[in-house]
Every structure is written in structure tokens, then in C-alpha cells.
Amino acid sequence: GQQVMQIPQYQHVQEGEDFTTYCNSSTTLSNIQWYKQRPGGHPVFLIQLVKSGEVKKQKRLTFQFGEAKKNSSLHITATQTTDVGTYFCAGPQVSSSNTGKLIFGQGTTLQVKP
Amino acid sequence: KAGVTQTPRYLIKTRGQQVTLSCSPISGHRSVSWYQQTPGQGLQFLFEYFSETQRNKGNFPGRFSGRQFSNSRSEMNVSTLELGDSALYLCASSLRGSGPTIYNEQFFGPGTRLTVL
């Protein structure tokens, strides 16, 4: 079945350093979503990318969708302690009945040292 | 608008028992999905309900079941609990796009932490 893989699993950075997490799908995705889960919290939607090669920015966060729509990345510039959490990518798996379900990557847990 | 609510927030059960978890979606959202989150397996899709119909199902045994009511509230039930069922169970609601190419963002509830002893 379809798989969505994320690397790295964990990342420790010094505050102010940049951070990137990568997401790869075994199949072409119609779109990809990114979520952030703070420690002890629940996943919160960050963004959705739909177009091939799409790049979107949210302040210090830059999201990219690959040209082949099989990979995506999230880059955080100059990390802050508020960026701590686990970042998940998720892509829809479409069934033969034309309904979908979201398949989540394993997540990348970011720790930021002040 | 109020967010997604889940009850109870914490639950302790013993092996063999059954449990029912409840989820109230955001007002106007007709789709409710359930996920199991564990440290080892991450976020695993359980099932999705839309207008009281189960539209999708993940790879979980039949002990896991759910339903959705006419007001979009949803429940999931786990029978004959096993130690491995200990997890955070998350419910998420969404508006649900008109087709499979656009999957609306999921609004997650705080989850129910289930511990099976």
C-alpha cells in the first residue's frame, strides 16, 4: 500500500539554526498537508500544497512540493524554542470508490536548545 | 466556533474490557476521522465517517468499530481490549472536499489517552 516516509525522525538544533524535514511518498500525491504537534498536544494543520513545484511561506517556515508530487519538505529558518514539536506530512490515499484517507508520515520531532 | 471535543480525556481499562470513546466535531463539519497515535507507529488511520456512513477504513482488526450520528457526533468502540491498544486516540473533523483530489484540512481534538492494564 501507499507509504509516506519522513526523515529525519529526530533533530536537535541550537536556537537560531535552520531545520529541514523531508517527506517522501511511494506514489504520486494529489496534494500534501503538513501538521505540527506540540508536546502533549494534538496535531494542528499548517498548510496544504496542491500544485507541482509549489512553494509556500509562512513567516520563517517554507514548504515545498516536489515537481513529481512525490516529495515535500518543510524548512524552518532561524529556529526558536516555540518551534519545538513534531512535524507531520500527510497525503491522501484514494481508494477505488474515489474516497480518500490521509496517510501520515512518522513525523520529525524537533528539539531546540536555547 | 468551538473546536473538536473528545470525551473522556483519560481512560484506564483492563484487558478484555471494552471501551467507547466520543467525539463532537466542529459545527458544520460532516466528516469525522479517527486515528490511533502510539510512539512506535505514529498516526494510524482507523476510519472515516461522513453523513453517518463509514467511507474509509484503516488496517485495524474488527474489534475496532465506530459510528456517526445524524448530528455528526461520532463514537468509536474497542472490544476485548489488549495491552497493545494503549494509545492516544484522536478524532478529527473536516468539511470534506467534493472529490478525492482535495482533502480538506483536519481539525483534531485533544484526544483520549487510553491505558490498558
Nearest to A101 among B45, B102, B105 (CB): B45
Phi-psi region for residue A98, left (φ > 0), alpha (ψ -120 to 50) or beta?
left
Query: How many angstroms separate the CA of residue B18 from the nearest CA in chain A?
Result: 24
pLDDT, tens digit (0-9, with 9 covering 90-100), for A84-110: 999 999 988 766 555 567 889 999 999
First to last CA, chain A: 41
Average pLDDT value over all residues in chain B: 91
* Helices and strands counted in chain A (H then E): 0, 11
> What pLDDT shows up at residue B98?
43
Mean per-residue pLDDT of chain A: 92
Q: What is the C-alpha separation between B38 and B88, in angstroms, rounded?
A: 7
The model's confidence at residue A61, banded by pLDDT at 50, 70 and 90, is very high
* All three cell numbers of B79: 472490544
Q: B111 and A30: CB-CB below 8 Å?
A: no
Mutate to test the interface with A, among B5, B26, B43, B48 (most CBs of A within 10 A): B43
Contacts of A104 in chain B (CB under 8 A): 35, 42-45
Residue A112 has pLDDT above 80, yes or no: yes
Pick from B3, B26, B23: nearest CA to B94: B26
Residue B88 · residue B111 · CB < 8 Å: yes
Q: Tell me the three state secondary structure of residue B31.
A: strand
The pLDDT assigned to B101 comes to 55
A78: helix, strand or coil: coil
Rounded to whole angstroms, the Cα distance separating A7 from A110 reads 11
Residue B116 to residue B83: CA distance in whole angstroms: 5
- Render B103-116 in DSSP notation, one character per residue: -PPPEE---EEEEE
The dihedrals phi and psi of B47, each to the nearest 5 degrees, come to: -165, 165
> Given a cut of 90, is residue B56 above it in pLDDT?
no
What single DSSP character describes residue B101? T
Torsion of the alpha carbons at A11, A13, A16 and A21, rounded to the nearest 10: -10
